[in-house]
Structure 1
Amino acid sequence: MNIFENIKTIFLDYDGTIHNSIKIYGPAFRKSYNYLVNLGEAPEKKWNDEEISYWLGFSSKAMWEEFMPNIDPDIRDKASKIIGREIVSQINSGKAVLYPHAIETLRYLKDKGYNLVFLSNCSIGYRDKSKEIFGLDSYFVEMACSEEYHYTPKYKILAILKKKYPTDMVMIGDRFQDIEAGKKNNILTIGCNYGFHKPGELDEADIRIDSIKELKYIF
């Protein structure tokens, strides 16, 4: 039995699921961290991509609360804005990269009649710039981001969104926030092995995939 045979609505995470975001987040994080070092707010450190990728999937609010909980709020906000500006600059410079087969898979799912809903712990500006560059609004019926919901946890945003769309549903993503969102809303989950998850984060997913292209064989 195919547990996904009656699915009508597909919620998709963005970073680590559709977008290989370490390519632009890494430089943005390092620039922000160097700002903090120059202010004497952080020790010098050379961050590698694996260390930085831990924060991909977190909302900005959750990231800073865990990363530097005791920093002055004004300094934190400036550091956060540096990341945001640099990410947009990286996208404008053509450095953003989607995973192989991402667009063809989104097109396939849309053409099959699924309701595709973008759900990301990202800012409005980042969402809008990604939409502009990659034409994502051609595939998604809605593109929701956590800033629109005051950076509330993803599972709470999903609880709001799911009321608007037909069941059955599935949540697809690469981090624990995505699996948690699906489980807490009693919908199926697909974990993306190719993203930025850490050991154990995807253990409760109903199935796992090694490429976004595999969705074409599931749906």
Structure 2
Amino acid sequence: MNKAVFFDMDGTLYKTELILGDALNQTLNKLDTLNIRYVEQPMNKYKKIMGVPMTEVWNQLLVTRSEEDIKSANGLLQEHLITNINDGKGELYQGVEEVLSHIKEQRYNIYIISNGEKAYLDAICEHHNLEGLVDGVYSINLINTSDKSDLVKKVIEEESVKAHYMVGDRASDFKAGKDNNIEIIGCRFYFSNDEELKEADYTVDSFRTIKQIIN
């Protein structure tokens, strides 16, 4: 059975903050024209809930929460996020390629496990040439629940791997690790929360520090 390391994407591998503000503002401007109402200071709200599935994001950000409104808002945001990715406005955290290469040298499989949309995740991997380092990209949309723990379990079963580490920055990552008996590496980066990070077995302030743990 191959051993594996699971990574979250937003705020862990990718500096989502570099593209999120612009994409969200463009989306909200369009929602104004559609008379779809949203909460005050939506970016601040989004930062607090970063890491939850997109349906939950829009349940929190929209005042009107019809299925049609959520679908419209999310479609617009995904479109703008992917455009910003392809325009080179975002970037990986410093050392990501180096650390992933190191992990591969240690004979681990690498999987991205995210609450993000599949097209969005694929756009990041393609633009930043991660395909050769990553063995699989799994979105929460692949399962019927919104629980990342279930997604991690699905990957373990489908890929027939022994997961050794779950690397992430938010509570959903840490819960997914604990529920599946995986050691947790918490990243104290842009979207992280110090209270949530207490659940991690290890905490890093630099992505390159992960090399010292997975060795």
Query: What's the TM-score once normalised by structure 2's chain length?
Result: 0.89
> Following TM superposition, by how much is the alpha carbon of 1:168 offset from its aligned partner in structure 2, in angstroms?
5.1
CA deviation vs aligned residue, 1:7-57 (integer Å, no higher than 9, x gap):
931111111111001111111112222233334432685555x54323431
Cα distance in 2 between the residues matched to 1:187 and 1:46: 36
Residue pair 1:193, 1:210 contacting (<8 A) in 2 also: yes
Cα distance in 2 between the residues matched to 1:212 and 1:74: 39
> Following TM superposition, by how much is the alpha carbon of 1:211 offset from its aligned partner in structure 2, in angstroms?
1.1
Matched, 1:31 2:26: yes
> Following TM superposition, by how much is the alpha carbon of 1:111 offset from its aligned partner in structure 2, in angstroms?
1.7
Partner of 1:208: 203
What amino acid sits opposite 1:71 in the alignment?
R
Cα distance in 2 between the residues matched to 1:185 and 1:198: 22
Cα distance in 1 between the residues matched to 2:5 and 2:61: 31
> Following TM superposition, by how much is the alpha carbon of 1:216 offset from its aligned partner in structure 2, in angstroms?
1.0
Cα distance in 2 between the residues matched to 1:205 and 1:195: 17
Identity %: 27
Partner of 1:115: 109
Partner of 2:97: 103
Partner of 1:128: 122
Partner of 2:184: 189
Q: Structure 1 residues 128, 150: CA separation in 2 closer, same or farther (over 3 Å shift)? A: farther
Residue pair 2:11, 2:189 contacting (<8 A) in 1 also: yes
Partner of 2:136: 142
Residue pair 2:55, 2:70 contacting (<8 A) in 1 also: no
Partner of 2:76: 82
CA deviation vs aligned residue, 1:85-121 (integer Å, no higher than 9, x gap):
0001101111121111111111111122111111111
What amino acid sits opposite 2:101 in the alignment?
R
Cα distance in 2 between the residues matched to 1:40 and 1:189: 43
Give 5+ residue unaligned stretches, structure 2: none
Matched, 1:170 2:165: yes
* Residues 36-45 or 108-117, more deviating: 36-45
Residue pair 1:121, 1:151 contacting (<8 A) in 2 also: no
Q: Structure 1 residues 175, 29: CA separation in 2 closer, same or farther (over 3 Å shift)? A: same
Query: What's the TM-score once normalised by structure 1's chain length?
Result: 0.88
Q: Structure 1 residues 57, 43: CA separation in 2 closer, same or farther (over 3 Å shift)? A: closer
Give the alignment's Cα RMSD to 1 decimal: 2.1
> Following TM superposition, by how much is the alpha carbon of 1:190 offset from its aligned partner in structure 2, in angstroms?
1.0
Cα distance in 1 between the residues matched to 2:3 and 2:17: 31
**Paired positions, count:** 212
> Following TM superposition, by how much is the alpha carbon of 1:159 offset from its aligned partner in structure 2, in angstroms?
1.1
> Following TM superposition, by how much is the alpha carbon of 1:203 offset from its aligned partner in structure 2, in angstroms?
1.2
Cα distance in 2 between the residues matched to 1:141 and 1:39: 40
Cα distance in 1 between the residues matched to 2:201 and 2:74: 34
What amino acid sits opposite 1:38 in the alignment?
T
Residue pair 1:37, 1:44 contacting (<8 A) in 2 also: no
